[in-house]
Amino acid sequence: MDYFERFAIPHPSPAIYASMVAIGLTVIAIIVGLTYFKKWGYLWREWLTTVDHKRIGIMYLISAILMLFRGGADAIMMRAQMAVPDNKLLDAQHYNEVFTTHGTVMIIFMAMPFIMAFMNYIVPLQIGARDVAFPRLNALSFWLFFMGAMLLNISFVIGGSPDSGWTNYFPLANNEFSPSVGTNYYLFALQISGLGTLITGINMIVTILKMRAPGMTLMKMPMFTWSSFVANVIIVFAFPVLTVALTMGTFDRLLATNFFTTSDGGMDMLWANFFWVWGHPEVYILILPAFGIYSEIISTFSGRNLYGYKSMVGSMVIISFLSFLVWTHHFFTMGQGALTNSIFSITTMAIAIPTGVKIFNWLFTLWKGKIVFTTPMLYSMLFIPTFTIGGVTGVMLGMSAADYQYHNTMFLVAHFHMVIIPGVVFAMLAGLHYYFPKMFGFMLNEKIGKLTAWIIAISTLLAFMPMFFSGLDGQARRMYTYTESTGFGIWNMISFIGAIGFAIGFALIVYNVYYSIRYSPRNIGSDPWDARTLEWATPSPVPYYNFAKVPHVISTEALWDAKYNQHELFPEKYEKIHMPNNSGVPFILGCIFFAWGFSFVFSMWIPAILTTIGIFICMALRSLEKDPGHYVSVEEIKATEKKMRGVQ
């Protein structure tokens, strides 16, 4: 019995038992459903073994949306607990678990896969490629991310959730102060999915450098591709730091080393340094592709080329460089002295300059344009003012003497939500509405879409603006309760109302998908928005080989040239196309990684060794395998194109 006790939840509650039952029932329903409708084969052939970057993109997208709801449920619980003073809804331990999971899920398992979804889906199309450079590795990246996410998500029903914050500061996260296995879950979930991210980083860089269509020089790449490129370069430099930090943390917890302990020579601030050397660039990994999406949308719906293309590219390169020079601003208060703080204060505020350049470029793109307010454009226009508020408060935080007062308070929480939500979440929703027709062949409903955008934007202000005030009034972040006399009640109540607004907004998005599946017209053609870049030159939905003929490019806006400037986009003849074969190995390897992580979480050494061997066997098999891929014949291409476009 002892053996099984460690799998029990240390702090069970009715809500957790209810979730357990719900998870169990859902799993059973899925299994029964798949069996009843005989969909196992379809699932395996078309999705689990796919190496098609578009399908992988869609799987990222679905996972991201699921995680958005998971993290959102946590957020509602937190805001409900804080809504009134002395609330008894959650106790301290549950609150700690909830905000830890919320932060981790939202950054690592919601925002990251969301941008990965768009990078995977759009980048190859935008550069006129048929796939990414390493399609199979791409599938592996996805499955590693997915298994990491699942590992974190089972923590609350098996063994207990992590509870030391998404920043997981040691020594708090060490065995002495966090004895439950929750932190092990954190370490392994991030490690496994981080590995996937690093692999994607390499894959995307090679794809962008090597697989662009003829004529597309670096300075003719569309802005989203540029932003993805820069973000992936940041990934390749930043993620190894996370890998090392997580490994050291794992050693401390499982093998009793003393890297981050309070005794025997451990250095407690070492974790904070490692974490933020990765963590600050991480926020730019998220925001730059989002900026890329805004650039595409704003130029499309202003009917204009993007203003200041070169300064857009330049500012991203500068941001990527500076993002590695500012990590210390996350602990100005660690006692590093006035000189160090001054240096990091200046580098931090310097990031505002290239960011400002981008904002002005978007504003000038509107100049003399012909602005159409579609849902994606509405999100983009709501993004500019809200993000500006978040950005300028970042500059305020960057003044290190003043940060002594903001640090660890709700003011900080307000800042980063006011940048991440308009910056990343709005961009993703804008991108979702914008690219939905390309992905699925029909549009989301515009009326519901615009209503949702307004609700979400107003909710953002309601939920986070009050935190600036409560922070300045002395409310620290991560307190599970407060007394009436503090006077924080009113701010937190408004914030709770905002959180409810978010819930309504997200529910409306789901309704919109359902509504549009039922009622949206399907004959929308390949280019419903009158867009400007190559991804819209393919039929919708996109055939698995993307482009029947290789496109030729003369500017940043290939499709625009073809539509309005008499440029011949596809001058070549049909030729047979080489495509990679599907493979089950990435999925299986992902499953083994899941078991590997799970074994380590509970220090089960025999399964840990076996799964490690399993991982190496998979890799060895792959290196011995001969898989030349296959060719799609000209006849097949012609038939497909005819079916999709109704011509040729």
Partner 1 sequence: MKNRWIKLIGFFTIVTMLTGCDPLLVLDPKGPQAQVQAKDIMLSIGIMSFIVLIVFVILAYMLIKFRASKQSPNYKPPHIKGSIMVEVICVGIPVLIVAYLSIISVESNYKVESPPEKYKNEEPLVVYASTSNWKWHFSYPEEDIETVNYLYIPVGRPIEFKLYSYGPITSFWIPQLGGQKYAMADMVNTLHLAADMPGEYMGRNANFNGKGFAENTFNVTAVQQAEYDNWVKEVKETADMLTEEKFNTLLEPGHVGQSTFNGTHLTFLPPPEGEHGGHQHEKAESKDNKSLQNNH
Question: Where does this chain bind ligand HEM (CB under 6 A)?
Answer: 167, 283, 286-287, 329-330, 348-349, 351-352, 355, 391, 394-395, 397-398, 403, 406-407, 412, 415-416, 419-420, 423-424
Residue with smaller CB distance to partner 1, 52 or 557: 557
CB of 293 to ligand HEM, least distance (A): 13
Asked if residue 280 binds Cu ion (CB under 5 A), the reply is: yes
For residue 341, the partner it binds in partner 1, ligand HEM, Cu ion, none, with Cβ less than 5 to 8 A by kind, is: partner 1
Of 330 and 567, CB closest to ligand HEM = 330
Handedness of CA 640, 645, 646, 647 (dihedral sign): negative
User: Which residue's CB atom is positioned nearest to Cu ion?
Assistant: 280
Compare residues 221 and 286 and give the one whose CB is closer to ligand HEM: 286
Q: Pick the stretch among 100-108, 190-198, 273-281, 517-525 that binds Cu ion (CB under 5 A).
A: 273-281
CA distance 274 to 238: 10
Whose CB is nearest to ligand HEM? 394
Q: Is 76 left (phi over 0), alpha (psi -120 to 50) or beta?
A: alpha
Stretch of 67-75, 110-118, 218-226, 278-286 lying at the interface with Cu ion (CB under 5 A): 278-286
Taking the least distance from each CB to partner 1, the nearer of 205 and 395 is 395
Are 279 and 232 in contact by the 8 Å Cβ rule? The answer is no
Q: Which two tokens stand for residue 507?
A: 């529910």
Of 133-141, 226-234, 277-285, 384-392, the segment contacting Cu ion by CB under 5 A is 277-285
Q: Is 220 in the site for Cu ion (CB under 5 A)?
A: no
Residue 396: name its binding partner from Cu ion, partner 1, ligand HEM, none (Cβ under 5 to 8 Å by kind). partner 1
> Could you say which of ligand HEM, Cu ion, partner 1, none residue 412 binds, taking C-beta under 5 to 8 angstroms by partner kind?
ligand HEM
| CA 576/CA 214 separation, integer angstroms | 18
Of 405, 560, 433, residue with least CA distance to 118: 433
Residue 541 interacts, among partner 1, Cu ion, ligand HEM, none and using kind-specific CB cut-offs from 5 to 8 Å, with: none
Give 148's Cβ-side CA count (13 Å radius).
27
**Nearest-approach distance from CB 469 to ligand HEM, in angstroms:** 17
**By C-beta, is 423 or 489 nearer to ligand HEM?**
423
Shortest CB 572 distance to ligand HEM, Å: 41
Residue (478 or 549) nearer to partner 1, CB:
478
Q: How many CB atoms lie within 10 A of CB 484?
A: 10
- By CB under 5 A, tell whether 407 contacts Cu ion: no
CB of 145 to ligand HEM, least distance (A): 19
Peptide bond into 171 cis (omega under 30): yes
580 binds, among partner 1, Cu ion, ligand HEM, none (CB under 5 to 8 A by kind): none
Compute the least distance from the CB of residue 496 to partner 1, in Å. 14
We find the least distance from the C-beta atom of residue 387 to ligand HEM, in angstroms, to be 8
Binding at 371: pick from Cu ion, partner 1, ligand HEM, none (beta carbon under 5-8 Å per type): partner 1
Angle formed by the axes of helices 112-126 and 135-154, nearest 10°: 170
The burial class, CB within 10 Å (0-12 / 13-18 / 19+), for 366 is: middle
120 binds, among ligand HEM, Cu ion, partner 1, none (CB under 5 to 8 A by kind): none
Nearest distance in Å: CB 558, partner 1: 15
- Report the run of H or E that residue 630 belongs to, with start and end: strand 630-632
Contact 75, 40 (CB under 8 A): no
Cβ proximity to partner 1: between 565 and 648 the closer is: 565
Give the span between the Cα atoms of 278 and 200, in whole angstroms: 16
**How far is Cα 173 from Cα 165, in angstroms, rounded to an integer?**
9
Residue 631 DSSP SS3:
strand
Paired strand residues for 577: 632
Identify what 423 binds: ligand HEM, partner 1, Cu ion, none; CB under 5 to 8 Å per kind.
ligand HEM
Buried b (16+ CB within 10 A) or exposed e, 278-301: bbbbbbbbbbbbbbbbbbbbbbbb
CA distance 648 to 646: 7
Characterize 33-56 residue by residue with b for buried, 16 or more Cβ atoms within 10 angstroms of its Cβ, and e for exposed: eeeeeeeeeeeeeeebbbbbbbbb
Rounded distance between C-alpha atoms, residue 282 and residue 82, angstroms: 29
Nearer to Cu ion by Cβ, of 229 and 327: the residue is 327
Residue whose CB is less far from ligand HEM, 99 or 596: 99
Strand partners, 630: 579
Report 243-272 residues binding Cu ion (CB under 5 A): 269
Binding site for Cu ion (CB under 5 A): 269, 280
